[in-house]
Structure 1
Amino acid sequence: MHATAWALRRAVETVMAVFLMAMVALTFADVIGRRLFAAPIYGAHDITEHLMALVVFCGLPLVTAAGAHLTIDLLDRLVAQRWMGWWRALTAVLVVGLLALLAWLFVRHGLNAGRISEVSQALRVPREPLYLFMAASFALSTLAAAAIALTGPMTDPEDTHEEDPL
């Protein structure tokens, strides 16, 4: 199971890197085309908008699996105490539930977008696959949140460097 989780993580990281590189290349080409040749790339805004969503939603399961979501450490000393285990368990259940709810809502929204043929403005790119990708991202995040609730955050076995005390 652990090896499968790491293979999945590497696959998601690779897909995210490809989307990010495509977004950078498109933006670079669009700026060069606009500035030097007065010919911007038609639909670059639409494509960039979709790529940005893909990058963000590729990152969501990675951040969830690492337990790296933003947190407020104001009450960490209190919550870390043994008798507050119920609170940590309740929080984990709520996070898993909310992520699952969001996955379900995005599936519904994606199917609805397909039913009404929702498309982007300039290029008329169908939105259904994007919404379903977001749903899949939330579903993976749900699984990751459930896994870290049971086992703790995923730490990279290859990450053996010590933190610099400075």
Structure 2
Amino acid sequence: MAGRALERLIRFCTFVGALAIAVMMLATCWDIVARWAANRPLHGVVELVEIMVLASAMLGLPETFLRDEQIRVDLVDSFLSQRALALLKIVALVLSVVLLAIIAVNVYQPMVDAYRFGDLKYDLGVPLYPLYGLIIFAFAASILSCAAALVRELGTGEQ
């Protein structure tokens, strides 16, 4: 099982991701009602929804990896032995860690550039560099989740 600190971190990510979904729903509903009732739509709702989708998607990844709840199509399960499937799962976790690390490293420079050049969302004026930082944070938490799942898989062989 993952360490207590990791579980708290992942639970925090999930909570903030769920909060982002709630903000997205409320903003969309408010925009629709305000547009219908008073012809006064909520300014910047599209950008707000974009930011909340980013937050909910990225912050949902760590728990998905830790709980082994990724969407997958089991094409080879009936052809391979249990041992081969366990090995395939280990390889997939290692490749997931590598891919997440590559993406996180490659998001760093755009984050620095967005900070240096003062890039902002057009309507809301929200700086872009914290959004890149959110991606890096979420991928780092996902890497820790994958590593914990890999340790669990290597240690116990559970699925």
Bigger relative contact order, structure 1 or 2, given CA contacts below 8 A and separation 6+? 2
Partner amino acid for 1:151? R
The equivalent residue for 1:44 is: 45
Q: Distance in 2 between matches of 1:148 and 1:79?
A: 21
Within 5 Å, give how 1:51-66 maps onto structure 2. 51-66=52-67
Post-superposition Cα deviations, 1:47-77, rounded to whole Å, max 9, x if no partner, equal 1111111111111112111111122201124
- Any unmatched runs of 5+ in structure 2? 154-159
CA root-mean-square deviation? 1.9
Within 5 Å, give how 1:70-81 maps onto structure 2. 70-81=71-82
The equivalent residue for 2:113 is: 112
Percent identity, please: 26
Q: CA deviation at 1:84?
A: 6.0
Partner amino acid for 2:125? R
Q: Distance in 2 between matches of 1:111 and 1:94?
A: 27
Partner amino acid for 1:106? V
Q: How many residues align?
A: 152
SS in structure 2 opposite 1:120? Answer: coil
The equivalent residue for 2:152 is: 151
The equivalent residue for 2:136 is: 135
Q: CA deviation at 1:45?
A: 1.1
Normalised TM-score (structure 1):
0.82
The equivalent residue for 1:28 is: 29
Q: Could you tell which deviates more after superposition, 36-45 or 2-11?
A: 2-11
CA 1:149/1:79 → structure 2, altered by over 3 Å: closer, same or farther? farther
Question: Are residues 1:94 and 2:102 paired?
Answer: no
Q: CA deviation at 1:100?
A: 0.8
Within 5 Å, give how 1:11-22 maps onto structure 2. 11-22=12-23
Tell me if the contact between 1:79 and 1:87 (Cα under 8 Å) persists in the aligned partners: no
The equivalent residue for 1:160 is: none
Q: CA deviation at 1:33?
A: 0.7
Question: Are residues 1:10 and 2:15 paired?
Answer: no
SS in structure 1 opposite 2:68? Answer: coil
Q: Distance in 2 between matches of 1:83 and 1:14?
A: 36
Question: Are residues 1:82 and 2:83 paired?
Answer: yes
